[in-house]
Amino acid sequence: MTKTYRLDDGRQTLVLASENDRLPQVVYWGGSLPSGENLGALCAAHQIDVTGGMLDENPAVSLCPEAARSFQGQAGLMLSASDGRPLLPEFRLHSVEEGDALRFVCQDAGNGLTLTFEFAVDAQTRIITCQTKLDATQPVRLHWLAAPVMPAPQLAMDMIDVSGRWCGEFQLNRTPWSAGIRTRDNRTGSTGHEHFPGLMVPVTGATNTQGECYGFHYGWSGGHTMIAEELQDGRRQVQWGHAKDSEIAAATRFETAPLYLTYSDTGLNGCAVSFQRHLRERIVTWPKPDTPRPVHYNCWEAVYFDHKWPVLKDIAERAAHLGAERFVLDDGWFGLRDDDTSSLGDWIIDARKYPDGLTPLIDHVHSLGMTFGLWFEPEMISENSDVYRAHPDWALGPQDQILGRQQKVLNMARPQVRDFLYDRISAILRDNPIDYIKWDHNRVLPTPDAAQTRGTYALLDRLRADFPLVEIESCASGGGRIDFGIMARTQRVWLSDSNDALERLRIQHDAALFLPSAVTGSHVGPRHCHTSGRTLDITFRAWVAAQRHMGFEMDPRELDTRETEVLMRVTQWWKDNRAWMRTADILRLDSADPAVIAEQQQDPAGARFVVFAGKAATSAQISPRPLRLTALDPAAMYEITLANRDELAGLSRGTTALKERDLVLSGKYLMNHGVTLPWSFPERMWVVEGTRL
């Protein structure tokens, strides 16, 4: 007896089936099926054949493949009794709740286990959210619990997952599918620079703008394991869960984080837009949704730990003059923090640097029309701190562990640690008009521990409940903690510690597979980049920052007259456009020139767009190749203009029309032939604005 279930969101259909009350399996995930599709026939059609060398029946790739049912691939659940005895459960479907969402409750009475799978679809964002929960009548030790296990298409040559490093986040790895397993095992205990929990599986031939693609994101900040396996019979499964063995204590309840899924028939961009919209509209909670995203000024690269009132006062004035609307005081304001060897945990204003507290600086910042933000790194502790001297046992891991940035991690699972942090942070927030926290996290955990992440979430949730108007930025040495779990509690990410616009251009481009502009902080860095040593022109630095949530991080005292003028102009451009760009989709363009990294930000109604075409290197050919646009109405006419024609280089001598005037062209032409841009130096950005007529 086969029972079938179906979810639709207008773009994708998901069909699940349970045979003879076994665990359900996904029998179809892809483009929308007709409403009259016979799901019984579809299940029958899904069966693959059996031949010599195979079992007499193919064990299902169920929502949690069971080792006890002769499944020869990676099982979806590994656990043992609290005495260490391995458990090999066999579940039966017990009950199903159907409707706009699906909930399957499955039981293994012999072992006292209940496994629950939940699926919900969002017809606006086209994201399927699913989760697995395990309940046990007796405490059990969990080694591995997969979120609902999904099939991957067999007509895909490659998978694209995401790695990275400090100042080089969001590097896309393209790995060919082949027999066996590709594992991404994040043992850092946090999301990390190295292992963003996302995956794209493009069906053969898919590009950014066309073809089919499947997208996955695991919304958890404690480090994940991803398993992409091709079985000997060719079937492919993708599993996601908390990092293996990161549930340290035996318990009677476990759950995975939400797994976010989407299918696109408009290339990688279809998945990217779904993730961007879902994160912006469904995950992030905005304290003041109607307030424009303010231009930031962050003083880190200007003064580091050297906080001096006259300097900060001067810098604040210059930042406001440039157009900043929020001033963020970075590391160095508390304890005796003159460098990174001390004081984490001593969240008390340093009276040497701020004898009258933060009030004079905050008042000054306010008088300049800016709001005030403050840096914290709550989960960390310096051995050289009063708190550590009083509570050495609050640190996570062995006493003689290798330190990271000379610091240890606080054990966030301990309620008294969370209470202490809450008291210190809330006192500062109560005593000072602060509307923004930059929440940092600058080292990996000594060992992965899911309880640590739950503790951090609990502290964030408590602070947010009591200070609902304070925005929080997730910064972890730059992009070290970016995922939908942390983003449910924060509103911005510091994408990278690299303020090198050339590196940022690439990082932003690849991060846009998952992240919308509204949450992605991007700052204009110093003329000579502190982390790469590169020297980049102000035009390029300014436009790369204007692609996302804009800010400045250089010492404004270094700016000459031209740099000041350019920065003020681009900032004004960003302010003039930020209202519609906040909800724009970022569409990555398929550039014919590998030296050009380009994107089209388009309002969801398609009435206007802006193309950022960044020239990351000198091109192989001498003239620019046309840049094909995407997602336009082929029959509509668009007026396009080069927003920064004033940046034309003297070596550009031809008659490329956009140099002189605006053009009216059809969507069909712009998508089939593309925009022909003027010649430019490398490390420059062309900005093309378009309006549908």
Which residue numbers are catalytic? 440, 497
**Shortest Cβ 470–ligand DGJ spacing (Å):** 17
Residue 460, phi then psi, degrees to nearest 5: -60, -45
Q: How far apart are CA 445 and CA 281, in angstroms?
A: 31
Residue 534 tokens, joined: 């590169």
Interatomic CA distance for residues 127 and 57, integer angstroms: 33
Q: Taking contact as CB under 6 A, which single stretch among the options 220-228, 470-478, 520-528, 640-648 is the one that binds ligand DGJ?
A: 470-478
The one among 122, 331, 500, 599 contacting ligand DGJ by CB under 6 A: 331
Q: In the complex with ligand DGJ, which residue's Cβ is closer, 278 or 337? A: 337
- Give the number of other Cβ atoms within 10 Å of residue 693's Cβ: 8
Residue span binding ligand DGJ (CB under 6 A) among the ranges 117-125, 456-464, 473-481, 508-516: 473-481
Q: Please say which residue, 97 or 306, places its beta carbon nearer to ligand DGJ.
A: 306
Is residue 488 within 8 Å of residue 453, measured between CB atoms? no
105: phi then psi, degrees, rounded to nearest 5: -110, 125
> Would you say 43 or 328 has its CB closer to ligand DGJ?
328
Is residue 300 part of the contact set for ligand DGJ (CB under 6 A)? yes
Using the rule CB under 6 A, which residue among 122, 230, 497, 537 binds ligand DGJ? 497
Closer of 381 and 596 to ligand DGJ (Cβ): 381
- How far apart are alpha carbons 236 and 344 in whole angstroms? 46
| Binders of ligand DGJ in range 572-601 (CB under 6 A) | none
* Interface stretch with ligand DGJ, choices 389-397, 472-480, 522-530, 618-626 (CB under 6 A): 472-480
Does position 375 interact with ligand DGJ (CB under 6 A)? The reply is yes
Instruction: Check binding of 477 to ligand DGJ (CB under 6 A).
Output: yes
Q: Which is nearer to ligand DGJ, 108 or 440 (CB)?
A: 440
Kindly identify the residues of this chain, within the stretch 435-454, that bind ligand DGJ according to CB under 6 A.
440, 442
Q: 3-class DSSP state for residue 486? A: helix
| Residue (of 282, 322, 365) closest to 545 by Cα position | 322
Based on CB atoms, which residue is closest to ligand DGJ, 323 or 478? 478
Work out the widest C-alpha separation in the chain, in whole angstroms.
Answer: 82
Q: Is 566 a binder of ligand DGJ (CB under 6 A)?
A: no
- Helix H, strand E, coil C: the string for 680-692 is CCCCEEEEEEEEE
State which residue, 260 or 354, has the beta carbon closest to ligand DGJ.
Answer: 354
493 binds ligand DGJ (CB under 6 A): no
Q: Where are the beta strands (DSSP E) in 24-82?
A: 25-31, 77-81
CB closer to ligand DGJ, 224 vs 523: 523
Q: Which of 494, 540, 552, 609 binds ligand DGJ (CB under 6 A)?
A: 494
**Within 10 Å of residue 574's Cβ, how many Cβ atoms?**
21
Which position has the token pair 């073809």? Answer: 211
> How far, in Å, CA of 512 to CA of 544, rounded?
14
Using rule CB under 6 A, residue 344 touches ligand DGJ:
no
How near is the Cβ of 562 to ligand DGJ at its closest, in Å?
Answer: 27
List 24, 189, 478, 690, residue binding ligand DGJ (CB under 6 A): 478
- Report residue 82: phi and psi, to 5°: -65, -15
Q: How is residue 24 written in tokens?
A: 């359900």
Q: Is 191 in the site for ligand DGJ (CB under 6 A)?
A: no
Question: Please, what is the minimum distance in Å from the beta carbon of residue 478 to ligand DGJ?
Answer: 5
Give CA–CA dist 26/37, Å, rounded. 16
Residue 91 DSSP code? -
What SS3 state is found at 474?
A: strand
Q: Find the shortest distance in angstroms from Cβ 381 to ligand DGJ.
A: 14
Best CA proximity match to 404, nearest among 375, 438, 440, 446: 446
Q: How far is the CB of 170 from ligand DGJ (least distance, A)?
A: 15
Return the beta strands (E) in 354-446 as ranges.
371-376, 380-382, 407-409, 436-439
Distance of CA 590 to the CA centre of its chain: 22
Residue closer to ligand DGJ, measured from CB, 413 or 545: 545
| Nearest approach, Cβ of residue 337 and ligand DGJ (Å) | 9
Per CB under 6 A, the list member of 330, 483, 593, 599 interacting with ligand DGJ is 330
- Taking the least distance from each CB to ligand DGJ, the nearer of 305 and 679 is 305
Distance CA 259, CA 226 (A): 11
CB of 293 to ligand DGJ, least distance (A): 18
Going by DSSP bridges, is the β-strand pair 596-602/436-439 parallel, antiparallel, or unpaired? unpaired
CA 49 – CA 38 distance, rounded (Å) = 21
Q: Which stretch binds ligand DGJ (CB under 6 A): 17-25, 99-107, 475-483, 595-603?
A: 475-483
Q: How far is the CB of 332 from ligand DGJ (least distance, A)?
A: 8
Do 306 and 353 contact (CB within 8 A), yes or no?
Answer: no
User: Angle formed by the axes of helices 538-546 and 561-581, to 10°?
Assistant: 20
Min. distance of Cβ 121 from ligand DGJ in angstroms? 36
The reply on whether position 647 binds ligand DGJ by CB under 6 A is no
Only segment of 24-32, 283-291, 474-482, 563-571 that touches ligand DGJ (CB under 6 A): 474-482
Contacting residues for 246 by C-beta, under 8 A, at least 6 apart: 189, 222, 223, 448, 449, 450
CB of 510 to ligand DGJ, least distance (A): 19
- Asked if 475 interacts with ligand DGJ (CB under 6 A), we say yes
| Number of residues binding to ligand DGJ, judged by CB under 6 A | 11
Point out which residues bind ligand DGJ (CB under 6 A): 300, 330-331, 375, 440, 442, 475, 477-478, 494, 497
